[in-house]
Amino acid sequence: MAKKRVLITGGSGFLGSHLCDKYIHEGYHVICMDNLLTGSEDNVSHLFGNENFEFHKHDVTNYVYVKGDLDMVLHFASPASPIDYLEMPIQTLKVGSLGTHKVLGLAKEKNARFVLASTSEVYGDPNVHPQDEDYWGNVNPIGSRGVYDEAKRFAEAMTMAYHRFHGIDTRIVRIFNTYGSRMRLYDGRALPTFMRQALNGEPLTVYGDGSQTRSFTYVDDLVEGIYRLSMSDEIEPVNIGNPDETTIREFAEEIIEVTGSSSKIVYEELPDDDPQVRQPDISKAKRVLDWEPKVERRDGLIKTLDYFKEQVLRANA
């Protein structure tokens, strides 16, 4: 029997590339599409030569053409770190809006299931804690993060419209902070920045007083949650994340400890609209997907350390 075929947009990014591995492992033929704006071929180079893998360099804000049948489309293309949105605000808005529209059109044409990568950023700087899927959020549309938050909110609206109006089979995953191998050393997010600084013996730059909280998920847990959602019947959004919440100051201290570094912490200005708290309520994922994260943060950080050591060596070479 022919293999099922999945298109993964943003397939050579951090999450996209781990999804390529997962769906190949689950017996799919994977078509990875990426314009390499923030993704890297290095993340999927181990799959080149695999007969179940194809790479297409393409910007999904333009018309998307894929030859042959598709069973599923995972739409993961987007800049995804606050520094990226600051540097690429228009591309961020375009891929979440025009890109989502194009890829939904392709899913309709191919009669394929569509899975949208949404985000905890749809909740903005939340007034409800922890955040469950029924919370509508508190987003500043004109702030520097608004380009990402509003694009993803639009993408959710467009996805539901295609589901309701065109009968497309859709899924929406709201992804919380995730970490693991293949993050860019300079993507500006807390974890790669702290790892890089700690391994280089430089001060860790904590923004504000570090009392803001996040809840970090190890990439393997996230990928399993997304896979289960893609196989489920759940149309409405599902949070996937690890509810283990920490302050950013404690997180920086933990990275200093795990890396065995003698770095100190320095405090810098808090970026605009930086959410003060973030923690997923994952009751729904537990109920409908029988999913919950398995990897404790300390174990996940240790698993990720070798990757960052190698990246730091390369960068310093």
Residues found near ligand UDP in the complex (CB under 6 A): 81-82, 177, 189-190, 193, 205-207, 212, 214, 248, 271, 274
Report in angstroms how near the CB of residue 210 gets to ligand UDP at its nearest. 6
Report in angstroms how near the CB of residue 199 gets to ligand UDP at its nearest. 14
In the complex with ligand UDP, the residue whose CB is nearer, 26 or 268, is 268
In the complex with ligand UDP, the residue whose CB is nearer, 101 or 196, is 196
191 Cβ contact partners less than 8 Å away, ≥ 6 residues apart:
179, 183, 216, 251, 255, 304
Q: How far is CA 181 from the centre of its chain?
A: 13
Using CB atoms within 10 Å of the CB of residue 243, give its burial: 0 to 12 exposed, 13 to 18 middle, 19+ buried: middle
Count of other CB atoms within 10 angstroms of residue 45:
12
Contact 119, 152 (CB under 8 A): yes
- How long is the chain? 317
Crossing angle for the helix pair 14-25 and 219-231, nearest 10 degrees?
60
Question: What whole-number distance in Å separates Cα of residue 199 and Cα of residue 193?
Answer: 10
In the complex with ligand UDP, the residue whose CB is nearer, 24 or 139, is 139
Report in angstroms how near the CB of residue 92 gets to ligand UDP at its nearest. 13
Contact 176, 242 (CB under 8 A): yes
3-state helix, strand, coil in the chain (%, to 5): 40, 20, 40
Contact 187, 247 (CB under 8 A): no
In the complex with ligand UDP, the residue whose CB is nearer, 35 or 177, is 177
**What are 214's strand-pairing partners?**
246
The residues assigned a catalytic role are 148
In the complex with ligand UDP, the residue whose CB is nearer, 93 or 104, is 93
Question: What whole-number distance in Å separates Cα of residue 99 and Cα of residue 235?
Answer: 20
**What are 31's strand-pairing partners?**
7, 54
In the complex with ligand UDP, the residue whose CB is nearer, 82 or 293, is 82
Q: 154: which 2 tokens?
A: 């639009």
